[in-house]
């Protein structure tokens, strides 16, 4: 299972989904799905923008964990 750590990263940086959406022009709905881990797929461009905006790499944003 792929875990998304967007909620943790935003919390650490004290950012809101609306801040990220406004600053990056990423659809707020897409960010909300990532935040709550209800997404089905993510565009590469969204990952690129998030990594640049949050100053992180893909491994900081996503993690593969084995299902139990």
Q: CB-based burial of residue 31 (10 Å sphere; 0-12 exposed, 13-18 middle, 19+ buried)?
A: buried
pLDDT at 68: 72
Confidence of residue 30 (pLDDT cuts 50, 70, 90): very high
Question: What's the CATH number where 10 sits?
Answer: 1.10.260.40
- Which residues constitute the domain of residue 40? 2-64
List, in sequence order, the alpha helices (H) in 1-68: 6-13, 17-24, 28-35, 44-54, 58-61
pLDDT tens digit string along 33-57?
A: 999 999 999 999 999 999 999 999 9
What predicted TM-score, i.e. pTM, was given to this entire model?
0.91
Confidence of residue 26 (pLDDT cuts 50, 70, 90): very high
Distance CA 32, CA 39 (A): 9
Domain tally, the chain: 1
């Amino acid at each position: 299972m792929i875990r998304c750590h967007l909620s943790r990263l935003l919390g650490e940086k004290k950012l809101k989904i609306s801040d990220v959406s406004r600053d990056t022009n990423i659809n707020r709905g897409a960010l909300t799905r990532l935040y709550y881990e209800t997404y089905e797929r993510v565009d590469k461009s969204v990952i690129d923008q998030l990594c640049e905006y949050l100053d992180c790499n893909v491994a900081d944003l996503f993690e593969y964990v084995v299902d139990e």
